[in-house]
Structure 1
Amino acid sequence: MPNNVHMSRDVNLYFGVSLSIKRALSIRSATSPRFGKGKAIYYLSDVTGSMQLWQFDGTRHDVVVPWEGRVSDYRIANDGTIVIATDFNGDEKWRLYIINDDVVVPVSLEGVNYLGAWSPDSRKLAFTSTLDDGQNFNLYVYDRDTNSVVKLADIPGINIVEEWSDVGIFITHYETNLHSTIYWYRDGELKELTKHSGETWSHSPKYLGNGKLLYLTNADWEYVGIAQIDLTTGNWRYVIQLDRDVELFDVWRSYLVFTLNEEGSSGLYYMHMPSGLTHKITIPRGVITSLQYREEKLLFSLSSVNRGHEVYLYQSGVVRQITDSPKFGLALDKIPEPESVWYTSHDGRKIQANIYRPPGEAKGVVVYLHGGPESQDRPEFKPLLVALLMSGLIVAAPNYRGSTGFGKTFVHLDDVEKRWDAIKDVETFARWLMSEGIAKKKPCVIGGSYGGYLTLMSLAMAPEIWACGVEMMGIFNLVTFLERTAPWRRRYREFEYGSLEKHRDILIQLSPSTHVEKITAPLMVIHGANDIRVPVYEAEQLAKRLSELGREVKLIILPDEGHTITKVENRVKVYTEAIKFIMQHIST
């Protein structure tokens, strides 16, 4: 009898842990809210299992249109007409469709299309597309009256239409992921507005009226601020210039609303522009991912590790949550707020990291490496991170050099041959976790995309400190990656990793494929078959080589996913397997 009771408790514990993981991975999100006509609020939600467009009329939430595939973005014309961007099975080949009552009209289905902006009269839609040559996102306009698409301008590289106002179309042109300028298209002429010397990130233009334009820039400064330019003279000045990044902003009449990156968390502010009087709005800790300000109402989405990703409305001094996505019985609020820490890396440089602790007793540590690398780990809702916490694991996430959020200089400290320093940042962090007693035994390491690459390099360059690894959609060979990535991406990635022509030797030395024999820890490899950023060939090479070496490797290829796992059912299945893999090896 005692043995039976003991077995029953073990079984209940096993299924309880498994169920909490599935609850965490099943949690839905709501994001990207926008005001529609009347009282309507639109947003994106994955309640149905993939991101779809939803509407809230003040009383009832409903899907706008049943849609196969993922809706990634949308725009609402002044007359209420909606255009959506969608892909299929995660292939990121965005197609554009207009939704008007019960009529669906295809706008552009070939190439890759970036959604742009409606004309003020709602009759035309500006967008950019690789429709012509498969590489350059040229400027196009769709005319609803003639149901036709016309190319307005050839613009090499990646370009995104940001706004269409009474004075013309404003476009952000990207030289690299961190170097951009703003173009103004008017009356058949394309003009560069934000001419500059040296690397400058200028984007997100918003027309104020009276020949004035606001935009985000880090011209002549370490951090991104808000600037104003006179369209007639070209003279510009900073409106907001601080020692941290402004990330989002919107303007209505004489009021400016903006967010600041405050060591990862978002600070939300509004300012009366004529007087400069500024007020901070109290919000939960997290990351604001979208905002819009109209008629004294502020609509925004906030992602928080212990609240989920939801839509909020700020009006008359009060913040109100508009959506309440299913949490599947998981008490997210039991998760403690993450701790921001700083550690000293191998060369004396201070590196920031976030330490996420589980609600109960810790069973081990996972080092979580963000992607990008032009990105940042922030205290936002990530289903996998929450599932790891609910499994009793501490998640430790370093913002190694090359991360954003710490200034223009810091983000370039990992370029080309300097990438060795970022790899050493991770190793130093793992050793620091053990020296501080946070990790009482060997941690596992996990990462996706660039984080997947860094996971492999960490396993290879310091094999003795890791219990296991989980690599997702990562790079195994920098040379084959650059050769096979989508053609419009290669140039932009070469600025980060190095050129195939000039830096091939460095690329080879910095490739996990060169050091794969040193990887001894058990490894799980996850990849989407439709990945156009990091082709699945990278995962196949990796798994094949490790198998030949007799290493423990488990390969999972998702036939209906791309660079990210977009479908909830796949997320639950695959991440559950990843956590079981980690739990199996972290306790040995």
Structure 2
Amino acid sequence: MSLLAKRALSVRSAYAPRLGPRREIYYISDITGVPQLWRFDGHVHDMVLPWEERVSEYRVADDGTLAFTSDVAGDERWRLYVLEGEEAAPVSAEGVNSLGAWSPDSQKLAFTSTRDDQQNFHLYLYDRATRSIAKLAEIPGINVVEEWSEVGLFVTHYETNLESAILLYRGGEVRELTKRSPDTMSLSPRYIGGGKLLYLTNEGWEHMGVAQMDLTTGSWKYLIQLDRDVEFFDVWGSYLVFSLNEEGSSGLYMMHMPSGLTHKIATPRGVVTSLQYREGLILFSLSSINRGHEVYIHQGGALRQLTRSPRFGLQLESLPDPESVWYVSHDGRKIQANIYKPPGAARGVVVYLHGGPESQDRPELKPLVLALLMSGFVVAAPNYRGSAGFGKSFLRLDDLDKRWDAIKDVEAFARWLTAEGIAKAKPCVMGGSYGGYLTLMALATAPDLWACGVEIAGIFNLVTFLERTAPWRRRYREAEYGSLDRHRDLLLQLSPATYVDKITAPLLAVHGANDIRVPIHEAEQLAKRLGELGREVKLLVLPDEGHVITKVENRVKVYTEVLKFVERHQVY
């Protein structure tokens, strides 16, 4: 493998900035090889504390106290810690824990957890003075504490991955503020005073917008309602800052709420991954395939890049911006895709399938895609039915037996690539998680189209996957794929396991041993069956990773094998 590819796999990232009480800026960086919490005091960047495992989320109290979550060996069983002086005190190590908001006086921390119930994230309160935990409310399902204001605790409740509502906890009672509907998501509440709440919703609309609610009357209206999704927003004073999903890239805007006057803030092309607006300072992280994933500050009309993560000599700017294209699928529906081109002559094509499925391929930094590009491959990434970013009706187009249409979208894309002359030989197909599932289905349902396949943490059998996935995830995945009780036959019909004998292309499977989303049993079944059929298959197991490869040393080691595999089987 070329040195360029190794450099691409080693590129570091910085993201999730937050402002501290003394105007210090916190963020997460994997500069050490593992995502850790960092702080910039205006002069020096430094790690907040020595920590071996990755940090996922963190919150800064008004007095500067830090709370954060971390897991062990990628198992995604997030443990909750509070940094008190020099000590990282464990708060909740049982179950899976989700941050969370500090009380206005910085003395209490609200969070949700499965510590007492494997299937539900109930609401808890940690008291710093007594170092004790009390259960505030039992709320079924997945719940996330978003904000603690003078009117109470605001919580987003997820009924399914595509249906959520905002709850208010106050005085021992939980009140539902937004109505539940199979077609509505309401989330990210932000109290702005005067009995007014801002939040994201797509109620009665195809796309996510910003709405304002009067908490006294319950009446609401859209402040921002467009033909594209609002991703993030934040408020300071009379100004609202928000980002829009503009055919994959992000646009950053500022609106004067009293007048509605709005202007666009100039940023590099990429995807906004977090956003905070405090004291006239806009903090955001932006990810781009040819600029990296970095933290930025916008203040007084000027944009400043705060972090510059190591690139190991790689000239990211040599990569052209990806091209957005539309192709016609099997039934005449138009599907959007991104075409990433290498800096020089192409030596082959890899079809890259995103996960989710409620996700979207966007022009952000993806180390494996970057390494493929630097190795001379065109990467072609379709946003098949069920992808986000194209309205909630499009999201529903792969539910249950409609999943066949998403599978056919991938086949149609491979044929389009050939017809357009982009693929001059059979492409390879690869994807992770749901993208791994689609990779297997593509190899099985159109075996003559593919030179090879790479599946990472993918689903082989939808029945065994649902039986073994983490208990709190099952009902949400059943809403997408089908119920074990009512749709078992359909689940089997849509499982790669049913068609495994049709897979003839060489396959490389990668899986983390500690994966609680898609347990490693899926990869073990796949490798065993293909081996029995005499097919070329190799299984790489990562003993210290879960669903996502987060350690840079593992990324380099494993993705190097992926690149060698593709180079061996993809001949232009």
TM-score range, shorter chain: over 0.9
1:99 to 83, 92, 112: 83
From 404, 421, 429, the counterpart of 1:437: 421
Mapped to 1, the partners of 2:180 and 2:131 lie a distance apart of 39
Alignment of 1:62-461 (within 5 A): 62-461=46-445
SS in 2 for 1:120: coil
Residue pairs, 1:2-13, within 5 angstroms: none
Q: What does residue range 466-545 of structure 1 map to in structure 2 within 5 Å?
A: 466-545=450-529
In 1: Cα distance, 2:502 partner to 2:429 partner: 16
Q: Work out which of the residue numbers 15, 40, 57 in structure 2 matches 1:56.
A: 40
CA contact (8 A) 1:196 1:219 kept: no
Q: Is the 8 A contact 2:512 2:545 kept in 1?
A: yes
1:540 aligns to what SS in structure 2?
helix
Secondary structure of the 1:412 match is helix
Q: Is the 8 A contact 1:90 1:531 kept in 2?
A: yes
Describe the SS at the equivalent of 1:97. Answer: strand
Measure the CA separation in 1 of the matches of 2:326 and 2:542: 37
AA paired with 1:174?
Answer: Y
Partner AA of 1:308 in structure 2? G
Offset at 1:199?
2.1
**1:59 Cα shift?**
1.2
Letter in 2 for 1:438: I
| 2:12 alignment counterpart | 28
Q: Distance in 1 between matches of 2:294 and 2:260?
A: 30
Separation in 2, partners of 1:179, 1:141: 26
Q: Distance in 1 between matches of 2:43 and 2:293?
A: 20
2:556 corresponds to: 572
CA distance in 1, matches of 2:88, 2:526: 43
Runs of 4 or more above 6 Å deviation: none
How far does residue 197 in structure 1 lie from its aligned partner after superposition? 4.2
Alignment correspondent of 2:536: 552
How big is the shift at 1:103?
A: 2.0
Q: CA deviation at 1:196?
A: 4.4
Secondary structure of the structure 1 residue equivalent to 2:397:
coil
1:582 aligns to what? 566
AA matched with 1:138 = H
**One-letter amino acid matched to 1:516:** V
2:414 partner SS: helix
Q: Output the TM-score relative to the length of structure 1.
A: 0.97
Deviations 1:335-365 (A, max 9, x none): 0000000000000000000000000010000
Shift of 1:216: 0.2
Q: Give the secondary-structure state (helix, strand or coil) at the position aligned to 1:49.
A: coil
Amino acid at match of 1:478: L
Question: Hey, what's the Cα distance between the residues in 2 that align with 1:348 and 1:199?
Answer: 25
Query: Quick one: distance in 2 between partners of 1:101 and 1:250?
Result: 30
- Tell me the SS of whatever aligns to 2:344: coil
Structure 1 residue 198: deviation in Å? 4.2
Task: Give the deviation of 1:49 after TM superposition.
Answer: 0.6
Query: CA-to-partner distance for each residue in 1:145-179, whole Å, 9 max, x for gaps?
Result: 11100000000000000000111100000000110
Instruction: Give 3-state SS (helix, strand or coil) of 2:204's partner.
Output: coil
Q: Deviations over 1:17-58 (max 9, x none)?
A: 521111000000000000012231000000011100000011
Task: Give the residue type in structure 2 aligned to 1:193.
Answer: L
- Using the alignment, how far apart are the partners of 1:134 and 1:276 within structure 2? 45
How many angstroms apart in 2 are the aligned matches of 1:545 and 1:378? 34
Amino acid at match of 1:495: A
Q: 2:556 corresponds to which letter in structure 1?
A: V
Residues 518-539 of structure 1: CA distance to partner in whole angstroms, max 9, x if unpaired?
0000000000000000000000
Structure 2 Cα separation of the partners of residues 579 and 241 of structure 1: 43
Normalised TM-score (structure 2): 0.99
1:448-471 Cα offsets, whole Å, 9 max, x none, are: 000000000000000001000000
Residue identity in the other structure for 1:202? S
Q: SS of the residue aligned with 2:364?
A: coil
What is the alpha-carbon distance in structure 2 between the residues aligned to residue 373 and residue 196 of structure 1? 22
| Partner SS, residue 549 of structure 2 | coil
Residue type matched to 1:357 in 2? K
Structure 2: which 5+ residue stretches go unaligned?
Answer: none
Residue type of the alignment partner of 1:506: L
What is the identity, as a one-letter code, of the residue corresponding to 2:524? E
CA distance in 1, matches of 2:237, 2:347: 53
Q: Distance in 1 between matches of 2:223 and 2:133?
A: 38
**Percent of pairs with identical residues:** 73
Deviations 1:236-287 (A, max 9, x none): 1111000100010000111000000000000000000000010100111100
The code of the aligned residue for 2:69 comes to A
Distance in 2, Cα, partners of 1:540 & 1:343: 35
What is the RMSD computed on CA atoms of the aligned residues?
0.7
1:465 partner letter: L
1:105 deviates by 1.4
Alignment check: 8 A CA contact 2:386 2:397 kept: yes
8 Å Cα contact 1:81-1:100 kept in structure 2? yes
Equivalent-residue separation in structure 2 for 1:141 and 1:253 (angstroms): 29
State the alpha-carbon separation in 2 of the partners of residues 241 and 100 from structure 1: 43
Q: 1: CA distance between counterparts of 2:504 and 2:326?
A: 29
Task: Work out whether residues 330 and 408 of structure 2, in 8 Å CA contact, stay in contact via their aligned partners in 1.
Answer: yes
Q: Distance in 2 between matches of 1:438 and 1:151?
A: 57
Letter in 2 for 1:568: V
Q: Is the 8 A contact 2:98 2:111 kept in 1?
A: yes
Query: Which is further off, 188-197 or 110-119?
Result: 188-197
1:426 to partner: Cα distance: 0.2
* Paired residue total: 572
- Whether the aligned pair in 2 keeps the contact of 1:47 and 1:326 (CA below 8 Å) is yes
SS at match of 1:413: helix
| C-alpha distance after superposition, 1:472-523 (max 9, x if no partner) | 0000000000000000000000010001111111100100000000000000
The answer to whether the 8 Å contact 2:16/2:273 transfers is yes
- For 1:516, what is the secondary structure of its paired residue? helix
CA distance in 2, matches of 1:202, 1:379: 26
Letter in 2 for 1:314: H
Distance 2:237 2:36 in 1: 32
